[in-house]
Amino acid sequence: MLKKLTLEIKPVADKISVGTFDLPTLTLEEEKWGGLRMPRRRKSDYKMPEKNYWHIYSLQTLNSEKFIKVVNKILKREYILIK
């Protein structure tokens, strides 16, 4: 059994308005970031706490002056060495 379907397509153009509109121009920053951006964060006066715990491998990456200071404080037991 074959059924045949017939379909009529009627163009619908009831409410078409003809006119132009101006798009706002984008600044270079908006073009770069893809639109409006969030405002920048305020820089707080928060200061990172002093590092008291040192791992053996993190000491390897220090420059020589910083390494000497940290090792001296480890020997004085001001810092703690993590193995």
Stated pTM of the model: 0.45
Is residue 57, in this structure, part of any structural domain at all?
A: yes
Is residue 67, in this structure, part of any structural domain at all?
A: yes
pLDDT digits (tens, 9 = 90+) for 13-72: 555 555 666 666 656 555 555 556 677 777 778 788 889 999 999 999 999 999 999 999
Is residue 73, in this structure, part of any structural domain at all?
A: yes
Is residue 65, in this structure, part of any structural domain at all?
A: yes
Q: Which domain holds residue 71?
A: 51-83
pLDDT for residue 43: 75
How many domains would you assign to the chain? Answer: 1
pLDDT for residue 29: 55
Is residue 28, in this structure, part of any structural domain at all?
A: no
3-state secondary structure the chain: CCCCCCCCCCCCCCCCCCCCCCCCCCCHHHHHHCCCCCCCCCCCCCCCCCCCEEEHHHHHCCCHHHHHHHHHHHHCCCCEEEC
For residue 4, is pLDDT > 90? no
